[in-house]
Homo-oligomer: A and B are copies of this chain.
Amino acid sequence: MRKLTDLRQKVLKASLALIEAGGLDRLSMREVARKAGVSHQAPYHYFGDREAILAAIAGEGFSTLGESLLRAAAEAGADAARAVEAMGRAYVEFALRHPGYFQAMFRADAVPLDRYPEARKQEDEAFGRLVEGIDKAFANQPAEARRTIAIACWALVHGLATLILEGSFSRKLAIPKMRQRQVANEVIAAFTSLFGKNRK
């Protein structure tokens, strides 16, 4: 009975390690099995196919992203605008800290979430928090404007995360790894302060 979750967890862990080492497509069923010390077919007992592994990882990722956002907002206190900024930072932070998860979550071509309702649900929850926070911070704006703002916030932090992960910050902007997080936070701060001014 314990073994059941044992190999399942091992497979997920090995998969994540492979993804973080060499990108999503480096994930090989057989190598995962090898890494977990089982036959090449054992993972299929828990995951129907390669996609199912990715979907499970994506689901876990959305789940912990949701928690991070929640925690960030809570720690920011009552000021809704500060909460939005904190969530933006948390979003980027999550991507940098868990690049493997992030890739699995946002590469629809490799991971068709539509077919995995569990992962979808976790995704919806995570983004529910984001939208909720933004709605609260811009409560005085009409609904349509709030939506535009929400999309802008999301696109900004998602863009930052994607560009950093993909290496553009290093290659194109010559920002060393150590400072990328800081630069991203400065951009987020500048952005939210702009919206903040407009809010009053």
Contacts and interface: CB of A to CB of B under 8 A. Distances in A.
A117 interface: no
A152 B191 contact: yes
Interface in A146-200: 148-149, 151-152, 154-160, 162-163, 166-168, 171-173, 183, 186-187, 190-191, 194-195, 197-198
8 contacts: A24-B109, A25-B109, A106-B166, A109-B166, A152-B156, A155-B163, A158-B159, A162-B162
A148 B106 contact: no
B22 A149 contact: no
Contact of A109 (B23, B171, B191): B23
The A contact surface, by secondary structure, is helix
A14 interface: no
Contacts of A195: 194
Contacts of A85: none
Given A22-B109, A110-B25, A187-B151, A127 B172 contact: yes
A107 interface: yes
A1 interface: no
A151 B183 contact: yes
Interface residues of A, number: 44
Nearest to A175: B151
A6 interface: no
Contacts of A113: 171
Contacts of A152: 156, 187, 190-191
Nearest to A165: B108
A147 B187 CA distance: 9
Interface in A1-33: 22-26
Taking each of A26, A110, A159, which has the highest tally of chain B beta carbons within 10 Å of its own beta carbon? A159
Contacts of A155: 155-157, 159-160, 163, 187
